[in-house]
């Protein structure tokens, strides 16, 4: 269970083993979207909490 998404880690592993490039690309896009979104939210919250930080 990765990022609270049921089975996406196992699906990625199975896709790598079977060389399913389309599925690997899709999962990488999902991971990247989650990571970028969380990073953006953390940066915005950090700027709101600490006035010394500017965006």
pLDDT in tens, 2-47: 566 678 888 888 999 999 999 999 999 999 999 999 999 999 999 8
Contacting residues for 53 by C-beta, under 8 A, at least 6 apart: 46, 47
Domain assignment present for 1: no
Does residue 20 belong to any structural domain of this protein? yes
Decide: helix, strand or coil at residue 2.
Answer: strand
* 38-53 per-position pLDDT tens digit: 999 999 999 899 888 8
**pTM check: above 0.75:** no
By residue range, what is the domain housing residue 40? 8-49
What angle, 0 to 180 degrees and rounded to 10, lies between the N-to-C axes of helices 8-18 and 21-49?
Answer: 140
Q: What angle do CA 34, 10, 16 make, to 5 degrees?
A: 90
Q: Is 55 among the domain residues?
A: no
End-to-end Cα spacing for the chain: 33
Is residue 34 one of the residues assigned to a domain? yes
Cα 47–Cα 35–Cα 42 angle in degrees, nearest 5: 15
- Domain count for the chain, please give it: 1
Domain for residue 39, yes or no?
yes
């Amino acid at each position: 269970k990765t990022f609270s998404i049921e089975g996406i880690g196992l699906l990625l592993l199975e896709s790598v083993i079977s060389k399913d490039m389309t599925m690997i690309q899709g999962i990488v896009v999902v991971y990247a979207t989650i990571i970028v979104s969380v990073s953006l939210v953390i940066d915005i919250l950090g700027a709101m909490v600490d006035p010394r930080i500017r965006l």
